[in-house]
Chain A
Amino acid sequence: MNLRESPIFTTTLGKIFPFAVVFSLYVASYGASFPGGGFQAGVMLGSIMVVVELVMERRMYSDMVFQKIELSGIVVLFALAIAGFVFAGRPFGGLYQLRLEGLIWSNAVFPILSLAIFLEVSGSMVLIFRNFLFWDQAPKLNPIVLAKNNLSWRRIERCVTGIVLGLLLLAIMLIVYFLSPGQVSVRADKQAWLDLAQHVGINNVVTLVYLGPRVFDTMMEAMVVVLTVVGMKHLGKCT
């Protein structure tokens, strides 16, 4: 029997779906003070979307919507890194160091970071599982034929521009990392954590570590998720 024709599944899902969406938004917004945060909320929202598509057996929204959601999270992360560098001299306004100087918009940056992770994780969760759900529906492309047909100067120019921009970004990040003033804290004492928590108004210390001194790792982790989505789409499409 088709899952879509079962009244138990459709009725239960109809009742649970709005509750799950609201609860994920609640978890994302209260991650600063209670257990939760952007990642957990993103997984919740992505999971309920996957369950809905599994039962309905069709795409509720197009792939482009979730790609935009995912990429908006990445854009917010990079924008915060660059804004911190421009205004405070360090990426993310000095959040990757435990010293308090150089912190900008300290009360606003954590909720925005949490929101960025929420968007990125929820979008990528749906895209990753969609590749398995609709594996047969992906347009089949032969990469060699595709490259021969679409090999134009404009395409090559775009590829070269992308590679150059990526290398430039990497170079800027390495320069910033090695030339930033002061010593990066490797192991902080308890008082440093308490000072940082009081300064930025966050009670949940796990969120404070995840989005504070380890924010570079979080950004790289988001990039890994994007690469996974791109790789899976490629694997699904190629014959």
Chain B
Amino acid sequence: MNLDLWLLFVAVWGLIVVDNLIKKVMCLSIVESMLILEFLKIGFVASGAAPILNVSQRVVVDPVPQALMLTAIVIGMCFNALACAVIVRLYRQTGTVLVSELGNV
């Protein structure tokens, strides 16, 4: 099985089973990394060079998925930061980050 499918399986399993909100954010981060890996695989060419025009090698990898993923990395960073900030605020107010305990608060 492919590595990205394993990553997706681990992340979805974590999202369903794990109780801790921080670990759920980590699982979402794994999904994002899996998507980045998948996109980079689309543009990958075996023995291809970096997409810089003045290199002598003729075969280069596809630059478009790489440029798309630059945006995805920034948005992912923003998402993680905001999610962690919400969790910190939740912990300050309720004293817990466990979903099972949040229902009783």
Which A residues lie at the B interface, using CB under 8 A?
Answer: 33-35, 39, 121, 128-129, 131-132, 135, 194, 197, 203-206, 208-210, 214, 217-218, 221, 224-225, 227-228, 231-232, 235-236, 238
Contacts and interface: CB of A to CB of B under 8 A. Distances in A.
A232 B87 CA distance: 11
A34 B71 contact: no
Interface string B43-78: 000000011111000001001101110110011011
B51 A205 contact: yes
A219 B86 CA distance: 25
B74 to A, nearest CB: 5
Interface of B: 50-54, 60, 63-64, 66-68, 70-71, 74-75, 77-78, 81-82, 84-86, 88-89
Nearest to A233: B85
Contacts, number: 74
B74 A235 contact: no
Contacts of A33: 52, 54
A224 B85 contact: no
Given A135-B88, A206-B66, A221 B52 contact: no
Which label, helix, strand, loop or mixed, suits the secondary structure of the B interface? helix
Contacts of B52: 33-35, 203-205
A228 B81 contact: yes
Nearest 9 pairs of A and B residues by beta carbon: A209-B67, A205-B63, A205-B51, A228-B78, A210-B67, A203-B53, A206-B63, A235-B85, A128-B81
A218 B67 CA distance: 10
A232 B70 contact: no
A225 B78 contact: yes
Given A197-B53, A224-B74, 11 more contacts: A33-B52, A131-B85, A209-B64, A209-B66, A210-B70, A214-B71, A227-B78, A231-B85, A232-B82, A236-B89, A238-B89
